[in-house]
Structure 1
Amino acid sequence: MKSKTIKANSTETIIKEIDKATSDGFKPTLAVVFSSIKRDWLSVINVLNKKEITVFGATTAGEFIDGDIEEGSIVIMLLDMNPSSFKLIFLETSTETTLEDAKKLGGIGKETFTNPAFIIATGGIFIDGEQIVDGIMQGFGEEVTIFGGMAGDDLIAEKPIVFTNNKNKDNALIALIIDEDKIDVRGIATCGWNAIGTTKTVTKSEGNIVYTIDDKPALDMLMKYLGVDVKQDNNTGIVAFHNSWYYPLQLERENGDTVIRATRFANSEDRSLICTGSVPQGAQIKFSLPPDFDAIETVVAECASIKDNEQQQADALIMFSCVSRHLSFGALMKEEIEQVQNVWNAPMVGFFTYGEYGKSKIGTNEFHNNACCVVALKEK
C-alpha cells in the first residue's frame, strides 16, 4: 500500500498539491483530511469527490504532517488502499444518543468484516468520549481495535466538525472500518503525564460532571491544591477552564492503568468540573502537573513497544495528539512527533485533538485526554 502526504495553508495550493500527487499514475482511494476550521475544506472535498476518493476528515486544533507542525492549514494523507479493505461510516449523534449510536457503529463493523478495526473521529464539544468507546465494544460484542481522536476548532471550543464526501456535522461520529485480515492495524495511546499528591475519591459525580472530591466542591479542590484560578464572568454559569489542559485528573483503574480526564469547563455556581469523559462516582483520582521532557521519552518508548521487531515498518502513520501536549511542550512537540515517526519510518499525518481514543500499554480501549495516540497501517 502506498501513501503520500501533502499540506498547504490555502485551498488553492492544496488543490494543486492533490493534482500533483496524482499526476504520476498514483491512484488513491482514500484521503485522510485534517483541516483548520478556518480553511475551506468543503472545496477540498469537492476536488476529492471528482477523483472518486473516499474522505475521512476532521477539523483540528493544529495539524502536523511528517515532522512539521502547522497551524491554520490543511494536511492530507492519500492512500491507495484496496476499496474492499475498508468502509467509511458517518453517523449523526447527540449527548442523549451517543451510546446507542456507537453501538450501531460496532454492529456495522461486525457485519462488515470478521476482524474489523475502527479508526474514528468525533465532532462536537459535549459528546462523552467514554460512551463512544463503550458503545462500539458493546455493539461489536467483544474487544476490538479502536483508535482515533476528537475533532478540534482551533481552541474556539464551539463547533468541531467531522466530515466525509457528502456529509459534515459537529455532533457526529465518523469511522474508517478496516479489514484487519488484509491490513495490519496496530497502535497505542500513551501519555507520560505526572501525578502529584495523594489519592482522592470522587464522592459525587454524574456522567462527565464531577461535583465533589473528598466531599468538597470539585472546583475548589482543584484550585486549592494546584494553585490555579478560573476566570469567572459575574460568578455565574459555565465557564471555559483553559488551565485544565495543564492540570487534568488522573483516574486510577483497577488494573493499575491510569486514564487522563481534562476538565474543560467549570460551573461557577455549583463549583463542579465538567470533564470530556465520564468520571464514575467513587473513582480514585490524583491531580496532575504539566509534563517534562521525560514524557516524550515515555511516549516514544511505548510507541516502539508495539512493533514485533526493530526492522518492522509501516505503510502509513496516523497520529492523534492532544492539544494540551502542544500547549505544554511548545517547541519540543516537534521532537516528539519526529521521534515517533522515526520509530516506524513511514509517512505521517495527524492533528491536535480535544481527546483521544485507544488502548494503553496495559489497559483496554479507553477515551483519553492529554495523550498521544499513534496508529500504524501495513498492507499484509
Structure 2
Amino acid sequence: MNTVQLIKFKDKDWKYLTPEKKLNAPLVLVFGDRFFLEDVNIYKDIKKIFPKGHIVFASTGGNVIGNSVENNCISITAIEFERSTFKVEKINLSDTNLDSFKAGSNLVKKLKGKDLKYILVLSNGSFVNGSELANGMNDTVDSNVLITGGLSADDNRFERTLVSYNENPKDGEIVAIGFYGDSFEVTSSVDGGWTAFGPERIVTKSKSNFLYELDNKPALDLYKRYLGDKSSELPGVALYYPLQIKSEKEEQSKIRTILNINDEYNAMILAGDIPLNSKAQLMMTNVDSLVRASETATKQALDQMVSKPQLALLVSCIGRKLILDQRTIEEVEEAKKVLPNGITMCGFYSYGEIAPYHEENMCQLHNQTMAVTLISE
C-alpha cells in the first residue's frame, strides 16, 4: 500500500504532507469544509493532481489528516493498493424516493462479489435516515463483510452536506467502496466515553427519529426539566446531554444526539431512529472520558489485527468536537499513541458514525462516538 496526503487552506496552494509520488489509479479520499467543496472547479482541480484517481468527496465538520485535526480546509488521502482491488458505487436518495433502507441495500448488491471483505460508506448527512441506511446494508451483505463509515457533515451549521464520486460534490449522494482480496485485512471498533444518569424511561410515543413521549409524558418537557436553566440554550446544549436508547430487540444500547427541538409538537428530533417501547436515559461526559474512549476503540481494533495496520480511518462525531474544543487533537493523539509508527491516519468529524459494536458483525448508526477502522493488505 502506498499513500500520499495533501492539504489546502483558503487562498493557499496544495501542500504535500508526505513525499510526492505517482500512484497508479488510486482511491482518492477528499474530506473538506462544505464551502470549499461547493467550488465549481474542485473536481477538475483534484483530477489534475490524480488524473487516474477514483475521487470520492465528503463534506465534514473537521478533518483528521496525519497527526492533526484541521478545520476550514480540504484534505486528500490517496491510496494505491498493491495486492487488493476496490470498486466504487453510488446512489442518490432522490432516486429511491428518500428510502434510505433501499439505498443501502442497492449499494451492497452492486458491490457483492468474490473476496469482498469490506465496505466503506460515505453518506449524505442532511436527510438520510442513517439507521435505515445501516439496516438496508445489513439486510443484504454477507455476514463476513465489515461495513464502516459515516454521515457527511457541515461543521455545526447543519445546513447542507455534500458527497460524490468522480464529479463535483452534490446533495443526496451516498458512495460505497468495496474492497476485495485474500490479503486484505480490516478491523474496527467504536467507543463513546459517555455515562448514563437519572431514571430510565420508556418511549411511549415516537415516529422514526422524532421522540414525543416518555412514560406517557411530553419528552421535551421532561428533558427541559432535567436541564434546568440550561434549557434556554437548546438545541445547542443538547449535544452535551444525548440520550441512551436501548430497544427490546437489541442487546446493546445506542447513543442518540438531539439535533433539534420542535416546541409546537413538544418533540425532540434525534439523529437516528427511536423505537417505540425502547428505554431512554440521559447521558453525560467529560473531556477526559471522551479522550480515553478514542484510546479504547483504537486498542480494540488493533487487538483484532493479525498483520500490521497500514491505514487508520477515524470517524468521530461533530458533537464530540464541540465538547472537546481546544482539546480535540487529544483524541487523535491518543489513537496515534496506540498505533504502530509509519501508519497513515485520515478521517473526519461526522453527523453519525457507521460501524459494528465491538465483537459484533452488523453495522449500526452511532452518535457521539469515535469509530476506528484499521486496514492492511
TM-score where L is the length of structure 1: 0.89
* 1:70-120 Cα shifts (integer Å, max 9, x gaps): 11011111111259611111110157311111110121222x344331111
Comparing 305-314 with 64-73, greater Cα deviation is found at: 305-314
Confirm whether residue 35 of structure 1 aligns to residue 32 of structure 2: yes
* 1:344-366 Cα shifts (integer Å, max 9, x gaps): 23111111111110012255421
Q: Percent identity?
A: 24
Comparing 51-60 with 80-89, greater Cα deviation is found at: 80-89
> Equivalent residues in 2 for 1:57-96 (5 A)?
57-82=57-82, 85-94=85-94, 96=98
Aligned residues of 1:124 and 1:172 also touching (Cα < 8 A): no
Structure 1 unaligned residues grouped into runs of 5+ = 232-239
Between the aligned partners of 1:156 and 1:326, the Cα distance in structure 2 is 14
Aligned residues of 1:11 and 1:39 also touching (Cα < 8 A): no
Structure 2 unaligned residues grouped into runs of 5+ = none
User: Which position in structure 2 is the counterpart of 1:316?
Assistant: 311
Confirm whether residue 246 of structure 1 aligns to residue 248 of structure 2: no
Between the aligned partners of 1:309 and 1:375, the Cα distance in structure 2 is 11
Change (3 A) 1:42 1:53: farther
1:66 CA drift (Å): 2.1
> Equivalent residues in 2 for 1:200-349 (5 A)?
200-227=201-228, 228-229=230-231, 241-252=235-246, 256-308=251-303, 313-345=308-340, 346-349=343-346
**Match for 2:318: what amino acid?**
V
1:248 CA drift (Å): 0.8
Between the aligned partners of 1:11 and 1:150, the Cα distance in structure 2 is 28
Comparing 341-350 with 202-211, greater Cα deviation is found at: 341-350
TM-score where L is the length of structure 2: 0.89
Between the aligned partners of 2:269 and 2:206, the Cα distance in structure 1 is 10
1:42 CA drift (Å): 5.0
Aligned residues of 2:204 and 2:214 also touching (Cα < 8 A): yes
Aligned residues of 1:55 and 1:164 also touching (Cα < 8 A): yes
User: Which position in structure 2 is the counterpart of 1:115?
Assistant: 116
Say which of 365, 370, 374 aligns to 1:372: 370
**Match for 2:77: what amino acid?**
M
Between the aligned partners of 1:354 and 1:309, the Cα distance in structure 2 is 27
Between the aligned partners of 1:310 and 1:154, the Cα distance in structure 2 is 32
User: Which position in structure 2 is the counterpart of 1:356?
Assistant: 353
> Equivalent residues in 2 for 1:80-229 (5 A)?
80-82=80-82, 85-94=85-94, 96-110=98-112, 112-140=113-141, 142=143, 144-166=145-167, 168-179=169-180, 181-227=182-228, 228-229=230-231
* 1:315-364 Cα shifts (integer Å, max 9, x gaps): 11111110111111122221110121232231111111111100122554
1:141 CA drift (Å): 5.3
Secondary structure in structure 2 of the residue aligned to 1:6? strand
User: Which position in structure 2 is the counterpart of 1:55?
Assistant: 55
1:61 CA drift (Å): 1.1
User: Which position in structure 2 is the counterpart of 1:5?
Assistant: 5
Between the aligned partners of 1:114 and 1:27, the Cα distance in structure 2 is 22
1:203 CA drift (Å): 0.6
Secondary structure in structure 1 of the residue aligned to 2:221? helix
* 1:271-315 Cα shifts (integer Å, max 9, x gaps): 111111111000111111133413322331232122247995321
Change (3 A) 1:256 1:88: same
Between the aligned partners of 2:211 and 2:359, the Cα distance in structure 1 is 26
Comparing 95-104 with 55-64, greater Cα deviation is found at: 95-104
Between the aligned partners of 1:286 and 1:340, the Cα distance in structure 2 is 29
**Match for 1:93: what amino acid?**
L
Aligned residues of 2:29 and 2:55 also touching (Cα < 8 A): yes
Between the aligned partners of 1:357 and 1:31, the Cα distance in structure 2 is 20
**Match for 1:188: what amino acid?**
S
Between the aligned partners of 2:98 and 2:25, the Cα distance in structure 1 is 37
Aligned residues of 2:307 and 2:376 also touching (Cα < 8 A): no
Aligned residues of 1:321 and 1:373 also touching (Cα < 8 A): yes
Aligned residues of 1:6 and 1:77 also touching (Cα < 8 A): yes
Between the aligned partners of 1:27 and 1:141, the Cα distance in structure 2 is 30
Between the aligned partners of 2:117 and 2:307, the Cα distance in structure 1 is 22
**Match for 1:277: what amino acid?**
G
User: Which position in structure 2 is the counterpart of 1:234?
Assistant: none
Secondary structure in structure 2 of the residue aligned to 1:169? coil
Aligned residues of 1:322 and 1:369 also touching (Cα < 8 A): yes
1:44 CA drift (Å): 4.0
**Match for 2:132: what amino acid?**
Q
**Match for 1:377: what amino acid?**
I
